[in-house]
Chains A and B, each alone.
Chain A
Amino acid sequence: MNAILSVDCAQKKFGGLIAVNDVSFDVREGELLGLIGPNGSGKTTMLNLISGALRPSAGEIRLKGERISGHAAHHIARQGVARTFQLVRILPSMTAEENVMAGAVFARNRLWGTNARALARKLLARVGLEGRADMPVASMTYIDQKRIELARALAADPRVLLLDEWLAGLNPTELQIGIALIDDLRREGRTIIMVEHVMDAIRTLCDRCVVMNTGTKIAEGDVSDVLSDPQVVRAYLGDDDDA
Chain B
Amino acid sequence: MQIIVTGILLGGTYALIALGLTLQYGVARIMNLANGETFVAACFIAFWLFTAMQINPLVGLLVIAPAAFAINWAIYSILLKPLVDRAKNRGMLEVDSILATFGLLFLLQGLMLLAFGGSYFSYTFLAERFMILGNPFGLNRVVAFGAAVVIAVGLYLFLYRTRHGTAVRAVAVDPNSARLVAIDVAKTAAFAFALGGALTACGGALLSTFYTFNASMGVVFTMKALIIVIMGGVGDIRGAVLAALILGVTETAVASLIDPGLTIAATYALFIIVLLFRPQGMFGRQTS
Q: Note whether A and B contact each other (Cβ less than 8 A).
A: yes
A residues neighboring B (CB under 8 Å): 14-15, 54-55
A55 touches B288 (CB 8 A): yes
A54 / chain B contacts, CB cutoff of 8 Å: 288
258-288 of chain B: CB within 8 A of chain A: 285, 288
B288 touches A15 (CB 8 A): no
**A-B CB contact pairs (8 Å), 4 listed:** A14-B288, A15-B285, A54-B288, A55-B288
Chain A residue at minimal CB-CB distance from B285: A15
User: In the assembled complex, how far is the CB of residue A42 from the closest CB belonging to chain B, in whole angstroms?
Assistant: 14
A55 to B288 Cα, complex, angstroms: 8
A15 / chain B contacts, CB cutoff of 8 Å: 285
B285 / chain A contacts, CB cutoff of 8 Å: 15
B residues neighboring A (CB under 8 Å): 285, 288
A92 to B285 Cα, complex, angstroms: 33
User: In the assembled complex, how far is the CB of residue B279 from the closest CB belonging to chain A, in whole angstroms?
Assistant: 15
A127 to B288 Cα, complex, angstroms: 33
A14 to B285 Cα, complex, angstroms: 10
Chain A residue at minimal CB-CB distance from B288: A54
A59 to B265 Cα, complex, angstroms: 42
User: In the assembled complex, how far is the CB of residue B148 from the closest CB belonging to chain A, in whole angstroms?
Assistant: 33
A15 to B280 Cα, complex, angstroms: 14
User: In the assembled complex, how far is the CB of residue B92 from the closest CB belonging to chain A, in whole angstroms?
Assistant: 15
Closest 4 CB pairs of A and B: A54-B288, A15-B285, A55-B288, A14-B288
Chain B residue at minimal CB-CB distance from A15: B285
User: In the assembled complex, how far is the CB of residue B89 from the closest CB belonging to chain A, in whole angstroms?
Assistant: 13
A55 / chain B contacts, CB cutoff of 8 Å: 288
A14 / chain B contacts, CB cutoff of 8 Å: 288
A15 to B288 Cα, complex, angstroms: 11
A223 to B109 Cα, complex, angstroms: 70
User: In the assembled complex, how far is the CB of residue B40 from the closest CB belonging to chain A, in whole angstroms?
Assistant: 40
User: In the assembled complex, how far is the CB of residue A54 from the closest CB belonging to chain B, in whole angstroms?
Assistant: 5
A55 to B287 Cα, complex, angstroms: 11
User: In the assembled complex, how far is the CB of residue B281 from the closest CB belonging to chain A, in whole angstroms?
Assistant: 15
| Most chain B Cβ neighbours within 10 Å, of A14, A54, A55 | A14
A54 to B288 Cα, complex, angstroms: 6
User: In the assembled complex, how far is the CB of residue B233 from the closest CB belonging to chain A, in whole angstroms?
Assistant: 15
A207 to B285 Cα, complex, angstroms: 41
Chain A residue at minimal CB-CB distance from B287: A14
Chain A residue at minimal CB-CB distance from B286: A15
Chain B residue at minimal CB-CB distance from A55: B288
A54 to B287 Cα, complex, angstroms: 10
A14 to B288 Cα, complex, angstroms: 9
A158 to B285 Cα, complex, angstroms: 35
Chain B residue at minimal CB-CB distance from A12: B288
User: In the assembled complex, how far is the CB of residue B173 from the closest CB belonging to chain A, in whole angstroms?
Assistant: 13
User: In the assembled complex, how far is the CB of residue A69 from the closest CB belonging to chain B, in whole angstroms?
Assistant: 13
B288 / chain A contacts, CB cutoff of 8 Å: 14, 54-55
A101 to B151 Cα, complex, angstroms: 58
A22 to B155 Cα, complex, angstroms: 44
User: In the assembled complex, how far is the CB of residue B174 from the closest CB belonging to chain A, in whole angstroms?
Assistant: 14
A24 to B25 Cα, complex, angstroms: 42
A19 to B168 Cα, complex, angstroms: 29
A218 to B193 Cα, complex, angstroms: 50
